[in-house]
Structure 1
């Protein structure tokens, strides 16, 4: 048997055996060691001999007492570690039980119970990093399964003569879907800061969803929203850096004061969308429909407008320095470029072709 194996075997011994062994060895040493040491001095005086023996015994008792304290501290520490491990195991067991119960609640027919499950999952995600990402995946899957594009389109088709009020009533956002979006918006981590992957909400129908009502801005950095329906959604003050909206439907969606740097809007319907005071640097609007969109005071530095439709769009006070694939033909169709910052070449060409009024005339204020 190797020394390492012996040590491992000793660790498995009952602490009571160690304590009993220490007490026995201490008693033997206290009885045997002092007389042996004194015998070397050859002291004939009985009183002196007894005094010296007691001094040795007291010194040895102090040493052994210190050892006993050290052993007591060790076993107390070991018991503390075991207690902590047991507590952690108990907590994990409770979390697992709560997790299972919350997931079961998501499938309940009653919206009140589903809401309870959603908020229970949010609490677990805040408490347990181990379960955090799995919960985010469950919640995003809940949205995609319960609010798919095809389901919403079918609801519209059910109405033979759909008025705006009928559509609003028939296709209003479910309370539980709104609750999930709120939870996602206020989660403790986001893409690049605690999350290794972007949230997946592709092809979700989130028409008229609201993030602003429940939050002071949402963290949806890098979120995949390809093909999502977010018509009339409120995304004000949201953090949407690098989010993907390719092929999405964002008609009349509000992004006021949001950060959309490097966001992708390729072939996206953004008619009447509001981007007031947004940061939209290095974003992509290739083949997007931006008719009547409002970009007043937005920063669009280095943004790509390849084949984008800009008819009647408002660029008052916006920054369009180094914009990519932005042509005079596109800009000639906008509502205004009053106080907008353009590359000198583009501005000169606009003036040369008779579009100075877009740059110099202040438009009527929009609501």
Structure 2
């Protein structure tokens, strides 16, 4: 063997000897990483199992005869909703179903006379469930729908000053008389045929909300955002008993409503009853008020560029163009 070959072998052996500790360290690092990954996986499985157990226990508590236990179940679900993005949509669906099932039916309440409803309020557990839904992060809903249609929610109010986030909620035919919903996010909510007489919706966001057939007599809507809200009537419906097809005339009643400073740009409000309503300083640019009853309504200071007033009743109305 030549001297050059000998030196080459020596260098190779030296390189291997020097590399062995590094290779050993790399192997140890890979082994540690695999162990950590396995431990993390086992931890996630354990956490999911714990959340499932908590969820089952909380749902079980909702069926208790005890109000305190039901409330405990609601608050346990609230904590799960905060802790687990994966379970958030399921909790939303469960709480919405609970609230709708345990609230009184609006079918009965809407037939009751207006007098005497000021002191009415939903049951404590129903209020707690809706309050939990109203304070969730709606961006985590993943398509979950809050259906509170046909419910008696007269006098509903939320404790404290926390935000009320119920975008897209279905309140079809709900009884919301004297409800306190100031500042509520009700974007694209379905309020079709709901009764909101004397409710408080100051500063509420009702962009794109469906309000056809809703009653908002004496409702406070100061500085509310109703941009693009749909309050049109018309179309056809079918009588469920006779099967007869008839023209719908379920237009919105905003008689005596307070809409000062409200954003009503582009709102579809044809055939609406706005008699004696106040809309001082409201933004009605591009709104459709054709055939509406504007008797004694106050539009002073309102922005009316492009507003449609064809065949509207204007007797005694203030601030409208001649």
- TM-score, length basis structure 2: 0.83
Change in Cα spacing, 1:97 to 1:354, as seen in structure 2 (3 Å) is closer
Higher helix share: 1
Q: How far 1:216 moved relative to its partner?
A: 3.1
Query: 2:319 aligns to what SS in structure 1?
Result: helix
Determine which of 187, 204, 228 is the counterpart of 1:258: 204
* 1:312-347: CA deviation from partner (whole Å, max 9, x where unpaired): 1111111222111434x622x133122122247868
Query: 1:302 aligns to what SS in structure 2?
Result: coil
Determine which of 128, 135, 152 is the counterpart of 1:179: 128
Q: How far 1:76 moved relative to its partner?
A: 0.4
Q: Does structure 2 conserve the Cα–Cα contact (< 8 Å) formed by 1:217 and 1:236?
A: no
Match of 2:299 in 1: 337
Match of 1:28 in 2: none
Q: How far 1:56 moved relative to its partner?
A: 6.3
Paired with 1:119 and 1:283, the residues of 2 have a C-alpha distance of 34
Q: Which has the larger radius of gyration?
A: 1
Change in Cα spacing, 1:310 to 1:52, as seen in structure 2 (3 Å) is closer
- Trace 1:152-191 onto structure 2 (pairs within 5 A): 153=109, 164=116, 171-190=120-139
Please say if 1:321 is aligned against 2:285: yes
Paired with 2:315 and 2:196, the residues of 1 have a C-alpha distance of 33
Unaligned runs of 5+ in 2: 233-250
Change in Cα spacing, 1:260 to 1:61, as seen in structure 2 (3 Å) is same
Please say if 1:220 is aligned against 2:166: yes
- TM-score, length basis structure 1: 0.73
**RMSD of the alignment, in Å?**
3.2
What count of residue pairs does the alignment treat as equivalent? 301
Match of 1:122 in 2: 78
* 1:9-44: CA deviation from partner (whole Å, max 9, x where unpaired): xxxxxxxxxxxxxxxxxxxxxxxxxxxxxxx3479x
Match of 2:246 in 1: none
Change in Cα spacing, 1:334 to 1:243, as seen in structure 2 (3 Å) is farther
Q: Does structure 1 conserve the Cα–Cα contact (< 8 Å) formed by 2:280 and 2:302?
A: yes
Paired with 1:282 and 1:276, the residues of 2 have a C-alpha distance of 17
Paired with 1:115 and 1:148, the residues of 2 have a C-alpha distance of 18
* 1:216-264: CA deviation from partner (whole Å, max 9, x where unpaired): 3311111111111111111111111111100111111111011111111
